[in-house]
């Protein structure tokens, strides 16, 4: 059986990266992540990403590129990450999160990221577009 995929977005706007603090489940609550969720049958990674960011944050986004690599989550799940551009809307923590932050250059280490997100966050901060 192949692993199920969780997609997450390194969402950029005005030269900053969006971080979201999880409110659930209890073992992840309070830690920060790149927002996203599980791929559904028949979806591409990019389609799942756009859907999840719409559902969780109320924004429209455009995937830019996949960050190379794949990171194990719990048993049976792997994390894949895309960079994405904010197209419209102001992100709001509608589901799964209780706080959002925009991180500028050099601010990537200011928050307590989920361990599994850290390699992709480091790469996303390196790729931060100019504001
Ligand atoms: N997850 C993660 N890192 C992310 C996004 C999600 O570790 N950037 C994990 C948390 C959940 C699972 O993937 O265990 C599914 O995410 P969600 O609950 O947001 O659908």
Average pLDDT estimate for 6-27? 97
**Of all protein residues, whose CA lies closest to atom 8 belonging to ligand 1?**
34
For residue 119, the SS3 value is helix
Q: Are strands 97-103 and 77-88 parallel, antiparallel or unpaired?
A: unpaired
Q: What pLDDT shows up at residue 32? A: 98
The interface pTM score, or ipTM, of the predicted complex is 0.95
Atom of ligand 1 nearest to the CA of 34: 8
Atom of ligand 1 nearest to the CA of 37: 20
Q: How many helices (H) and strands (E) does the chain have?
A: 2, 7
User: Exposed (0-12), middle (13-18) or buried (19+): which is 131, by Cβ within 10 Å?
Assistant: exposed
Contact between 69 and 78 under an 8 Å Cβ cutoff? The reply is no
Q: What pLDDT shows up at residue 131? A: 84
pTM: 0.97
């Amino acid at each position: 059986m192949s692993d199920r995929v969780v997609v997450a977005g390194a969402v950029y706007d005005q030269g900053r990266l969006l971080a979201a603090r999880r409110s659930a489940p209890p073992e992840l609550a309070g830690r920060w992540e790149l927002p996203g969720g599980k791929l559904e049958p028949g979806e591409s990674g990019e389609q799942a990403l756009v859907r999840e960011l719409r559902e969780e944050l109320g924004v429209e986004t455009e995937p830019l590129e996949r960050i190379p690599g794949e990171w194990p989550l719990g048993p049976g799940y792997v994390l894949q990450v895309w960079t994405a551009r904010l197209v419209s809307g102001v992100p709001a923590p509608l589901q799964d999160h209780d706080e959002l932050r925009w991180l500028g250059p050099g601010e990537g280490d200011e928050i307590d990221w989920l361990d599994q997100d850290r390699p992709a966050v480091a790469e996303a901060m390196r790729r931060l577009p100019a504001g």
